[in-house]
Amino acid sequence: MKIKSAKLYSFPVRGGAEWIILKISSDSNFDGFSELTMSNYSLKNNLQNSLSGLLKKIQSEDLKDDDQINKLLSNSDENYDLVAATSRSGIRSACSDIFAKEASKPMNEYLKSKYLLSGTPSNFVNLYANINRSLLPDDNGPTDRSPESFSKMAKKALDDGFSYIKCAPFDGYPNNYYKDNKFIQEGLARVREIAKLLTTDKKLLVDCHSKFDQQSAISVEKKLFELGVNWFEEPMNPKTSSKELKEIKKRIKGDLVGGEEFYGVKKFLELLKSGTLDILMPDIKYCGGIEESIKIGTNLAKISKGTFSIHCPSGPISLLGSAHVTAALNSELPLEHAVYEITDRSNYLYPKEKIMKGKFFFPKGYGLGAEPNFNNNHKIIMEIGL
């Protein structure tokens, strides 16, 4: 197929946050979708420039598969910043959506067939509830981030059928709290409130968003482990602190988790083989897209089982693609889902996103099986006719 045109959409969500969606239209009369939402919204203009340049680079090519697109978009070292990784991943995922539609297969079946994966795809995948975005500022300003508020949101998720809860208890404090380490005790107070809700079949996952140094990370993990937390996510940034993380990994009892902003199989294999992390979290928006995630998952599984868990605190298109990957790989670990960010989230997908009792249920169509609901408020932020 050849790309005829591309559009980039913005769907405003909450408190200035937005979901960025790419639509690629092909000469085979199929549209492919992907999500390009980045953690740093200020880079949106850079993203548009990068995306435009890459699309023009492949506009005259007859595109056969993801491997070809990857080669066309790659540079010599594949050491991409977040913008470059996101634009490449978005193009690859949207094209994979088209390829699956051309093959008249749901995405998870297309992936299983293409990559010779064993097992029969289920019609659902298990999710874990990331409560972080529900506690960020909304359209009316900052929200309550007290320990009781964290507990209340976690209880809501447990009552809705989720068995795993993720929180970022060390975020959102004034600068002076980080200078004198007061944020540590305050964050642990949030964790203690949630821990009171846990039973033997319920788990709490903690994301640290790189708030620690080596010494404080080891000390805090010990306290978290005593509270029943054995998922310790990114106490330091794996891109800049791999040496420290290797030492932390040796000295803690729980699993050291991370890697959300890396691109390509090679980087993830290095993180596992080097003893930097126990569980790797590729994000289809950054890691190279849907099919690169499959390659990452299959290669990690050759070394150690249970080392793959997709990072997905994002919108419905990202969750849909991530769910297809999780199902195709028969992943042991549940998939991340950002709960309660907005009340009408399911309406942003057509057909509606279906999540019940901690499970994501697939729509019946080919490719991703659903698309953004353009009846919701949105705007076109970039349009390229090729």
pLDDT digits (tens, 9 = 90+) for 147-177: 999 999 999 999 999 999 999 999 999 999 9
Determine the CATH number of domain 3-105+373-385. 3.30.390.10
Q: Average pLDDT, stretch 140-150? A: 96
User: Given a cut of 80, is residue 385 above it in pLDDT?
Assistant: no
User: Given a cut of 90, is residue 42 above it in pLDDT?
Assistant: no
Whose CA is closest to 377, among 19, 108, 31, 68?
19
Choose which CATH entry (2.40.50.140, 2.30.30.180, 3.40.50.620, 3.20.20.120) describes domain 113-368: 3.20.20.120
* Domain range annotation of the chain: 3-105+373-385, 113-368
Backbone angles phi, psi at 289, to 5 degrees: 105, -175
The whole-number pLDDT of residue 76 equals 74
User: Given a cut of 70, is residue 260 above it in pLDDT?
Assistant: yes
Share in percent of the chain as helix, strand, coil (round to 5): 40, 20, 40
DSSP 152-186: HHHHHHHHTT-SEEEE-TT-S--HHHHHTTHHHHH
pLDDT band at 380 (very low <50, low <70, confident <90, very high): very high
* N- to C-terminal Cα separation, the chain: 13
Query: What number of residues does the chain have?
Result: 386
User: Given a cut of 90, is residue 246 above it in pLDDT?
Assistant: yes
The whole-number pLDDT of residue 78 equals 75
What is the tens place of the pLDDT at every residue in 307-360?
999 999 999 999 999 999 999 999 999 999 999 999 999 999 999 999 999 999
User: Given a cut of 80, is residue 40 above it in pLDDT?
Assistant: no
The whole-number pLDDT of residue 224 equals 98
User: Given a cut of 70, is residue 197 above it in pLDDT?
Assistant: yes
Contacts of 347 (CB under 8 A, 6+ apart): 373, 376
Region of residue 205 (phi > 0: left; psi between -120 and 50: alpha; otherwise: beta): beta
At CA 322, angle to CA 320 and CA 324, rounded to 5? Answer: 70
**CA distances in angstroms from 194 to 134, 199, 206, 313, listed in the order given:** 15, 11, 11, 20
The whole-number pLDDT of residue 384 equals 85
Percent of the chain scoring above 70 in pLDDT = 99
Q: Which residue has the tokens 């910043």?
A: 81
The whole-number pLDDT of residue 272 equals 97
DSSP 135: G
Q: What angle in degrees, to the nearest 10, is found between the helix axes of 107-114 and 316-328?
A: 40
C-alpha to C-alpha distance for 183 and 173, rounded to whole angstroms? 7
Q: Average pLDDT, stretch 231-257? A: 97
DSSP 29: S
pLDDT band at 386 (very low <50, low <70, confident <90, very high): low
C-alpha to C-alpha distance for 97 and 24, rounded to whole angstroms? 9
User: Given a cut of 90, is residue 184 above it in pLDDT?
Assistant: yes
* Residue 208 in tokens: 């640290």
User: Given a cut of 80, is residue 41 above it in pLDDT?
Assistant: no
* Residue 239 in tokens: 């891109």
Cα-to-chain-centroid distance, residue 96:
17
pLDDT mean across residues, the chain: 96
User: Given a cut of 80, is residue 39 above it in pLDDT?
Assistant: no
DSSP 253-319: SSEEEE-TT--SHHHHHHHHHTTS-SEE---TTTSS-HHHHHHHHHHHHHH-TT-B-----S-HHHH
* Residue 150 in tokens: 């964290």
What is the tens place of the pLDDT at every residue in 280-301?
999 999 999 999 999 999 999 9
**CA distances in angstroms from 72 to 54, 66, 92, 386, listed in the order given:** 9, 10, 11, 17
